[in-house]
Amino acid sequence: MADELLAVPASRLPRHVGIIMDGNGRWARSRGLPREKGHERGADAVRTVVRAARRIGLSALTLFAFSSQNWDRPPEEVFHLMALLRRYLHEEREEILDNGIRLVSVGQTDRLPAYVRAPLEDLKAASAGNDDMILCLALSYGGRETITEAARAVARACLDGRLSPETITPEVFEGHMAPSRLLPPLDLLIRTSGEHRISNFFLWELAYAELHFTETMWPDFGREDLVAALLDYSQRERRFGRTSEQVAALDGRAGTKRKDAP
């Protein structure tokens, strides 16, 4: 079983994988269960996938767990999701700390209730010295909100005289976005449940990420699905605007097929 997790050669692995974990509600409905059951089984899938990602050797895994727009769901569902998050943080604490995983988060976590924020901040601090894998939870996260926040920070820097508009490059701008300070570039996005949209996830980071869509509902997503997505990724040629020939020449020179954005 463990071998299956090592099916993709390390040189062809993405460094940073993001997952839009979708389909909990439909998974439950198709079984005549309340949506909450779907979220609970979804939390089990999170456990499985984090374990597998660590074993496979990914550098970073970002899980889109709750979007800025998800606050508009019925209050009972929001409450259940928050309670589940709190439970997850408590139950996974030891495993995260023992396995060299550093927990970070992106999103407007100040909007989370204190009973989630406190264990979240606590585990982030406790795991800050770990460096085998980053587990990033996108909580109360929106891509547009994040870009807007960065634009605000850049505008402030210009007004303060710390930055002049002429010197703003994509790299400078990105430096004002929280994820870029913590995470390697996003290589692969996975979305479950057959939806083909981004739903306000990593809008900026997706510029050159590879996309993998699967019909599998998130509660059913397991190690085999992760491996299938990684195998799919390993077959892709990432050209970053160049030609195939250029990419081949660059890869030859680097002695590896894998490379990040130039």
Site string for ligand IPE, 187-216 (x = CB under 6 A): ------x-x-x-x-----------------
Nearest approach, Cβ of 22 to Mg ion (angstroms)? 4
Residue among 22, 92, 205, 210 that touches Mg ion (CB under 5 A): 22
Task: Say whether 70 is catalytic.
Answer: yes
What stretch of H or E contains 85? helix 75-98
Tokens in use for 10?
């390390």
Does residue number 23 form part of the binding site for ligand IPE (CB under 6 A)?
yes
Choose among Mg ion, ligand IPE, none what residue 90 binds, the Cβ cut-off being 5 to 8 Å by kind. Answer: none
| E strands in the chain | 16-20, 60-67, 101-106, 133-141, 188-191, 210-213
Contact status: 210 vs Mg ion (CB under 5 A) = no
Please pick, from the candidates 56, 65, 116, 189, the single residue that binds ligand IPE as defined by CB under 6 A.
65
Q: Which does 136 bind (CB under 5 to 8 A by kind): ligand IPE, Mg ion, none?
A: none
| Rounded alpha-carbon distances, angstroms, from residue 190 to 41, 82, 116 | 18, 23, 26
Q: In what order do the strands lie in the sheet with 188-191?
A: 101-106, 133-141, 60-67, 16-20, 188-191, 210-213
Q: Is 22 a catalytic residue?
A: yes
Two structure tokens written together for 239: 């050209």
For residues 61 and 134, the answer to whether their CB atoms sit within 8 Å is yes
Query: What is the rounded CA–CA span in Å between residue 62 and residue 178?
Result: 13
- When binding is defined by CB under 6 A, the residue of 53, 60, 61, 64 that contacts ligand IPE is 64
Q: Which of 14, 22, 41, 50: binder of ligand IPE (CB under 6 A)?
A: 22
Cα–Cα dist 80/32, whole Å: 18
Min CB(18)–Mg ion separation in Å? 16
Q: How far is the CB of 31 from ligand IPE (least distance, A)?
A: 12
Q: Which does 20 bind (CB under 5 to 8 A by kind): Mg ion, ligand IPE, none?
A: ligand IPE
Alpha helices, H only, 127-169: 143-160
Residues in contact with ligand IPE by the rule CB under 6 A: 20-26, 64-67, 70, 81, 193, 195, 197, 199, 218
Which residues are known catalytic residues? 22, 70
